[in-house]
Amino acid sequence: MANKIAARIKNLRIQVTGAKQMDFVTKFNVDKQSISRWESQIRIDKKTGEPKGRGVTIYTIKKFCDIIGITLSDFFDDPIFNNDN
């Protein structure tokens, strides 16, 4: 689920400001590290088999939604969150 959320944030960010994170950072005065962290995927460490990274909280998702002017329902109303994906 965390990776689907990260992908949704990235897709919406691209729709709103284009491919470059810096365009989003400039337009909405958001820290570049924040948007980068929000879009980070959780990966499995090849050596240990443990997950690396962390997902975002619902509060962060809400903050992102507020920034771009959508609701949480709008955020989660996307095929990426279908159970078959």
Q: pLDDT by residue (tens digit) across 4-56?
A: 999 999 999 999 999 999 999 999 999 999 999 999 999 999 999 998 888 89
Could you please report the per-residue DSSP string of the chain?
Answer: -HHHHHHHHHHHHHHHH-S-HHHHHHHHT--HHHHHHHTPPPEE-TTT--EES-PPPHHHHHHHHHHHT--HHHHH-SGGGSTT-
Multiple choice CATH, 2-80, 1.10.260.40, 3.40.50.150, 2.130.10.10, 1.10.10.10: 1.10.260.40
With 90 as the cut, is the pLDDT of residue 84 above it? no
Per the confidence metrics, is the pTM higher than 0.85? yes
With 80 as the cut, is the pLDDT of residue 85 above it? no
Residue 83's pLDDT band, with cuts at 50, 70 and 90, is confident
